């Protein structure tokens, strides 16, 4: 018995039901199993890494209570818009909006302010140029009983130091319930006004069109019918809760 085949014949003669084992096939089967295990392990590792990668961005915004995600550099975080004197008085930092004002190309609608028939409206700039002063883009005009012609003045090319484009108190000293009129560019979300003792003053915001609004603060009558004019404090806020104009006089 010098060959494998002769050995197999001899074994079958002694144990007919016995099947000789193919060593080469057993070895290949074992190698295939090892390759499959390694492949399965590699796929599992990749799936786990992918799951972790996808989970990290989803977990980011879920911060503990009382903590908010930090605003991106240069972004303007939206804050609650103040609606009361107490809320407004907490704001001291003025946000200056320096972009060019909208150009008024035609007279706008006349807006009544509820005082002696006075009405205000926008018009194209008055054709008066001051050397060294940027050209205005709009004017605000008044008309009403007693006016033979409208009274107009240019709005500033940029807001004044307190953020207003126009701010005027009507009626002069001692006038009872005279309004304080202001003009701002949109957006304006809230205007709050108060007297010097923090008593709330009613304010309305009226749309003048073409990118501007009119604010009307109706001052109370002088206490005891006196001739003194109460001082007024006014705060105006945009739709992000930023202080865009103020007055304290």
In tens, the pLDDT along 114-155 reads 999 999 999 999 876 667 777 889 999 999 999 999 999 999
Same domain, 223 and 123: yes
Q: With 70 as the cut, is the pLDDT of residue 42 above it?
A: no
In a domain, 20, yes or no: yes
Residues 27 and 128 in one domain: no
Asked whether residue 42 falls in the same domain as residue 96, the answer is no
Residue 128 inside a domain? The answer is yes
Shared domain for 15 and 92, answered yes or no, is no
φ/ψ (deg, to 5) at 96? -95, 125
Q: 120, 141 in Cβ contact below 8 A? A: yes
Does some domain include residue 169?
yes
48 and 138 both lie in a single domain: no
Give me the pLDDT at residue 197, please: 87
Residue 100 binned pLDDT confidence (cut-offs 50, 70, 90): confident
- Who contacts 100 (Cβ-Cβ below 8 Å, separation ≥6)? 137
d(C-alpha 74, C-alpha 9), whole Å: 89
Q: Using H for helix, E for strand and C for coil, what is the string for 59-88?
A: HCCCCCCCCCCCCCCCCCCCCCCCCCHHHH
Q: What angle do CA 233, 114, 111 make, to 5 degrees?
A: 95
Does one domain contain both 216 and 133?
yes
Determine the pLDDT at residue 99. 84
Please answer whether residues 247 and 181 qualify as being in contact, where contact means their C-beta atoms are separated by less than 8 angstroms: no
Same domain, 231 and 138: yes
Higher-confidence position of 6 and 185: 185
Identify whether residues 50 and 94 lie together within a single domain.
no
Q: What is the pTM of this model?
A: 0.66
How confident is the model over 47-91, as pLDDT tens digits? Answer: 565 554 544 443 333 334 333 333 334 445 788 999 999 999 999
163 and 236: one domain? yes
The predicted model gives 221-239 an average pLDDT of 77
Domain containing residue 14: 4-59
Between CA 230 and CA 174 the distance in angstroms is: 9
Rounded mean pLDDT, 226-234: 76
| Whether 36 and 100 share a structural domain | no
Judged by average pLDDT, the poorest of 16-30, 72-86, 160-174 is: 16-30
115 shares a domain with 164: yes
**Average pLDDT taken over every residue of the chain:** 79
| Tally of structural domains, the chain | 2
pLDDT at 156: 83
Per-residue pLDDT at 1 exceeds 60: no
Residues 218 and 149 in one domain: yes
- Asked whether residue 41 is domain-assigned, the answer is yes
**Which distant-in-sequence residues (6+ apart) come within 8 Å of 1 by Cβ?**
7, 10
Is position 72 within any domain? no
Answer whether residue 170 shows pLDDT above 70.
Answer: yes
Bigger pLDDT: 137 vs 42: 137
In a domain, 71, yes or no: no
Q: How confident is the model at residue 205 (pLDDT cuts 50, 70, 90)?
A: very high
Residue 93: band (very low, low, confident or very high) from pLDDT cuts 50, 70, 90: very high
Does the bond joining 124 to the residue before it have cis omega, within 30 degrees of 0?
no
Residue 72: its pLDDT value, please? 39
What was the pLDDT predicted at 57? 40
Instruction: Indicate if the alpha-carbon torsion angle 168, 170, 175, 180 is positive or negative.
Output: negative
The answer as to whether 78 is a domain residue is: no
Average pLDDT on 30-52 reads 67
pLDDT of 14? 60
Residue 77 inside a domain? The answer is no
């Amino acid at each position: 018995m010098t060959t494998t085949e002769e050995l197999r014949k001899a074994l079958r003669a002694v144990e007919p039901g016995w099947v000789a084992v193919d060593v080469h096939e057993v070895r290949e089967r074992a190698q295939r199993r090892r390759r499959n295990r390694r492949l399965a392990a590699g796929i599992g590792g990749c799936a786990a890494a992918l799951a972790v990668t996808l989970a990290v961005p989803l977990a980011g915004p879920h911060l503990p209570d009382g903590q908010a995600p930090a605003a991106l550099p240069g972004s303007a975080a939206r804050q609650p818009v103040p609606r009361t004197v107490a809320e407004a008085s907490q704001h001291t930092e003025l946000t200056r909006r320096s972009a060019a004002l909208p150009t008024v190309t035609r007279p706008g609608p006349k807006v009544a302010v509820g005082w002696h028939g006075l009405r205000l409206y926008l018009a194209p700039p008055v054709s008066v140029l001051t050397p060294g002063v940027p050209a205005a883009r709009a004017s605000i005009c008044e008309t009403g009983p007693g006016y033979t012609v409208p009274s107009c003045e240019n709005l500033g090319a940029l807001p004044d130091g307190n953020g207003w484009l126009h701010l005027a108190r009507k009626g002069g000293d001692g006038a009872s319930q005279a309004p304080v009129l202001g003009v701002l560019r949109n957006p304006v979300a809230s205007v709050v006004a108060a007297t010097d003792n923090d008593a709330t003053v009613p304010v309305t915001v009226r749309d003048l069109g073409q990118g501007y609004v009119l604010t009307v603060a109706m001052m109370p009558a002088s206490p005891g019918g006196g001739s003194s004019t109460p001082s007024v404090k006014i705060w105006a806020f945009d739709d992000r809760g930023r202080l865009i104009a103020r007055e304290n006089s």
